[in-house]
Every structure is written in C-alpha cells, then in structure tokens.
Amino acid sequence: MKYEIVIDGKAATLSAENGRFEFSPEGGDGIQHPYSMIPAGDAIWSILIEGRSYAVTLLGGGDVSVNGRVFHVEVLDPRGLRGRRTAAESSGPQSVTAPMPGRVLRVLVEAGQDVEAGQGLIVVEAMKMQNEMKSPRAGRVASVKVEGGATVSAGDILVVIE
C-alpha cells in the first residue's frame, strides 16, 4: 500500500511491503531499501535498514521520535473517502503540543508575533535532547502557554497559532 505523507510540512510518498520500503520526497530523489521491524514496547519499534538500527517511538499528536529526533508526521490514506488537509491548509487556531515530558529551555516567540510555517517557536529538552517545536503554518501567535524553565508533560499545549 502506498501512502501520501507529510513530514514537518514536506510532502512525500511511502510504501512498506514485503520487507521492502520506498520513500520518495516531493521534488527529490526516492530511495528503496529492504527493512525489518520488530516491536520494542508500547508504541516503540526497532527498525533495521541496511545494517543501521533506528528506535522509532510514536509520541502522539502526529509526532514521531526517530533516534531521539522528533518529526511531525501526517499520514494520508489514499483509500480514504475524504481528502485531508495539511496543517498549512487548515484554518482556525492550531495548538503546538509537547511531544514528550520535558523542560522548556527557550521560548522563541511571543503573543501577537507573526510566524512563518516551519519557524521555531519553543525549545524543549527531553531525554537530554533539545527539540525545537516549529510552527505548523504561517500565522500569528495567539498565545504562549508556558515560560522558560517550565516542566511540561506529553500533550501539553505550548503555543497556539491562529
């Protein structure tokens, strides 16, 4: 089955069948490799691709951690009856949430500030890794819900973009 996906706002296609995956970013060269995958816990997988191991964790809210690096991923099933819109095409307020428990290191924006899609909003330290939460689309910061030094839980709202 081939899926349309959006990773951090960039479109691609992904197919993973019969021990082989294909990944083709929009406007770029695609890759094909054999792979193996085993569950390593609840919402955690160990994936082996060409001798390299990847720890993949589903964090919720569309966020996925790959070896500690967090990506926002949207998967669109082409069999779906209704088309889905990416965050960049959505209207109304959108919340940027903490992908996992951690501590806010820096707040990069303030309420009322205009932001571009992909612009850094907040830096959260989790598991000794710094993760920059980015704007899902261009807009205005409606509110910043946390301050530097605050402790956050997975799913806590950090910033609201309108």
Going residue by residue through the chain (162 aa), what tens digit of pLDDT does each one get? 677 888 887 888 888 888 888 888 887 788 899 989 898 888 888 999 888 999 999 887 788 899 989 988 887 755 553 444 444 445 568 888 877 788 999 999 999 999 998 899 999 887 778 888 888 888 999 999 999 999 988 778 899 998
pTM higher than 0.75: no
| CB atoms inside a 10 Å sphere around CB 137 | 19
Sheet holding 129-134, edge to edge: 129-134, 120-126, 102-107, 151-152
Strand spans (E) along 18-128: 20-25, 31-41, 44-49, 52-60, 63-66, 69-76, 94-97, 102-107, 114-115, 120-126
Burial of 17 (0-12, 13-18, 19+ CB in 10 A): exposed
Contact 95, 63 (CB under 8 A): no
pLDDT for the residue numbered 5: 84
Going from the N-terminus, what domains does the chain have, and what CATH number goes with each? 2-76 (3.30.700.30), 90-161 (2.40.50.100)
pLDDT for the residue numbered 83: 43
Q: How far apart are CA 75 and CA 90, in angstroms?
A: 15
pLDDT for the residue numbered 2: 74
**Residues forming a β-bridge with 122:** 107, 133
Contact 133, 63 (CB under 8 A): no
**Residues forming a β-bridge with 101:** none
Contact 122, 146 (CB under 8 A): yes
pLDDT for the residue numbered 91: 58
**DSSP code, position 137:** S
